[in-house]
Protein backbone atom coordinates (compact mmCIF):
# COMPACT_ATOMS: atom_id res chain seq x y z
CA UNK A 1 0.00 0.00 0.00
CA UNK A 2 1.23 3.47 -0.83
CA UNK A 3 1.89 5.73 2.14
CA UNK A 4 0.92 9.39 2.21
CA UNK A 5 4.56 10.45 1.90
CA UNK A 6 5.08 8.23 -1.14
CA UNK A 7 1.94 9.63 -2.76
CA UNK A 8 3.09 13.21 -2.14
CA UNK A 9 6.50 12.43 -3.60
CA UNK A 10 4.82 10.94 -6.66
CA UNK A 11 2.53 13.97 -7.13
CA UNK A 12 5.47 16.37 -6.67
CA UNK A 13 7.44 14.76 -9.50
CA UNK A 14 7.72 17.35 -12.32
CA UNK A 15 6.42 15.04 -15.05
CA UNK A 16 3.37 14.10 -12.97
CA UNK A 17 2.72 17.76 -12.08
CA UNK A 18 2.86 18.85 -15.72
CA UNK A 19 0.61 15.96 -16.71
CA UNK A 20 -1.99 16.90 -14.09
CA UNK A 21 -1.77 20.54 -15.20
CA UNK A 22 -2.22 19.61 -18.87
CA UNK A 23 -5.20 17.37 -18.12
CA UNK A 24 -6.74 20.18 -16.05
CA UNK A 25 -6.34 22.68 -18.89
CA UNK A 26 -7.84 20.20 -21.37
CA UNK A 27 -10.82 19.67 -19.04
CA UNK A 28 -11.29 23.42 -18.71
CA UNK A 29 -11.23 23.78 -22.49
CA UNK A 30 -13.80 20.98 -22.82
CA UNK A 31 -16.14 22.58 -20.28
CA UNK A 32 -18.09 24.78 -22.76
CA UNK A 33 -18.57 21.82 -25.11
CA UNK A 34 -19.79 19.51 -22.35
CA UNK A 35 -21.80 22.35 -20.79
CA UNK A 36 -23.85 22.69 -23.98
CA UNK A 37 -25.11 19.13 -23.50
CA UNK A 38 -28.08 18.51 -21.22
CA UNK A 39 -27.21 17.84 -17.62
CA UNK A 40 -24.65 19.16 -15.15
CA UNK A 41 -21.60 17.74 -16.97
CA UNK A 42 -20.03 21.13 -17.66
CA UNK A 43 -19.98 22.03 -13.97
CA UNK A 44 -18.38 18.73 -13.01
CA UNK A 45 -15.78 18.84 -15.79
CA UNK A 46 -15.01 22.51 -15.08
CA UNK A 47 -14.65 21.85 -11.35
CA UNK A 48 -12.30 18.92 -11.92
CA UNK A 49 -10.21 20.91 -14.38
CA UNK A 50 -10.00 23.90 -12.04
CA UNK A 51 -9.02 21.69 -9.11
CA UNK A 52 -6.24 20.06 -11.15
CA UNK A 53 -4.88 23.40 -12.34
CA UNK A 54 -5.04 24.93 -8.85
CA UNK A 55 -3.24 21.90 -7.40
CA UNK A 56 -0.23 22.33 -9.69
CA UNK A 57 0.03 26.05 -10.55
CA UNK A 58 1.09 28.81 -8.16
CA UNK A 59 0.11 31.37 -10.81
CA UNK A 60 -3.43 30.01 -10.88
CA UNK A 61 -3.58 29.95 -7.06
CA UNK A 62 -2.57 33.63 -6.89
CA UNK A 63 -5.22 34.60 -9.41
CA UNK A 64 -7.83 32.48 -7.62
CA UNK A 65 -7.08 34.27 -4.33
CA UNK A 66 -7.21 37.64 -6.10
CA UNK A 67 -10.59 36.65 -7.58
CA UNK A 68 -11.86 35.68 -4.15
CA UNK A 69 -10.82 39.03 -2.64
CA UNK A 70 -12.39 41.09 -5.42
CA UNK A 71 -15.51 42.62 -3.95
CA UNK A 72 -17.92 44.43 -6.23
CA UNK A 73 -21.11 46.06 -5.03
CA UNK A 74 -24.34 44.51 -6.25
CA UNK A 75 -27.60 46.29 -5.48
CA UNK A 76 -25.97 48.33 -2.72
CA UNK A 77 -24.65 45.27 -0.89
CA UNK A 78 -21.15 43.92 -0.87
CA UNK A 79 -21.15 40.60 -2.72
CA UNK A 80 -17.93 38.62 -2.61
CA UNK A 81 -17.49 36.06 -5.41
CA UNK A 82 -15.09 34.18 -3.11
CA UNK A 83 -18.03 33.41 -0.87
CA UNK A 84 -19.80 31.80 -3.81
CA UNK A 85 -16.79 29.70 -4.74
CA UNK A 86 -16.24 28.64 -1.12
CA UNK A 87 -19.90 27.66 -0.89
CA UNK A 88 -19.67 25.71 -4.14
CA UNK A 89 -16.51 23.92 -3.00
CA UNK A 90 -18.00 23.25 0.48
CA UNK A 91 -14.83 24.55 2.15
CA UNK A 92 -14.67 23.97 5.90
CA UNK A 93 -12.35 26.96 6.41
CA UNK A 94 -14.95 29.21 4.78
CA UNK A 95 -17.64 27.89 7.11
CA UNK A 96 -15.41 28.63 10.12
CA UNK A 97 -14.70 32.17 8.88
CA UNK A 98 -18.41 32.80 8.28
CA UNK A 99 -19.27 31.61 11.80
CA UNK A 100 -16.54 33.85 13.28
CA UNK A 101 -17.83 36.82 11.25
CA UNK A 102 -21.40 36.23 12.44
CA UNK A 103 -20.21 35.90 16.04
CA UNK A 104 -18.24 39.16 15.77
CA UNK A 105 -21.26 40.96 14.29
CA UNK A 106 -23.45 39.58 17.06
CA UNK A 107 -21.00 40.74 19.75
CA UNK A 108 -20.60 44.19 18.21
CA UNK A 109 -24.39 44.48 17.92
CA UNK A 110 -24.77 43.60 21.60
CA UNK A 111 -22.14 46.16 22.62
CA UNK A 112 -23.89 48.91 20.60
CA UNK A 113 -27.29 48.05 22.09
CA UNK A 114 -25.84 48.23 25.64
CA UNK A 115 -24.39 51.69 24.95
CA UNK A 116 -27.79 53.04 23.76
Q: Summarize pLDDT for 47-76 with one digit per residue, the tens.
A: 889 888 988 888 888 887 787 767 655 555
Residue 87, domain extent = 4-115
Task: Spell out the residues 6+ positions from residue 102 whose beta carbon is closer than 8 angstroms to its own.
Answer: none
pLDDT the model gives residue 12? 85
The model's pLDDT over 1-55, given as tens digits with 9 standing for 90+, comes to 889 899 888 888 989 999 999 999 999 999 999 888 888 888 889 888 988 898 8
Domains held by the chain: number: 1
Cut 0.85: pTM above it:
no
Instruction: Catalogue the long-range contacts made by 52-57 (C-beta closer than 8 Å, 24 or more residues apart).
Output: 52/20, 52/21, 52/23, 52/24, 52/27, 53/21, 53/24, 53/25, 53/28, 55/20, 55/24, 56/17, 56/18, 56/20, 56/21, 56/24, 57/21
Residue 114 reports pLDDT greater than 50 = no
pLDDT the model gives residue 115? 47
d(CA 60, CA 44): 19
Amino acid sequence: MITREQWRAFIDHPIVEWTIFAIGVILLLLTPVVGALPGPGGVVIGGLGLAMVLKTSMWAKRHYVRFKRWQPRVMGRRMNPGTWTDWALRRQSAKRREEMRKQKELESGQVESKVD
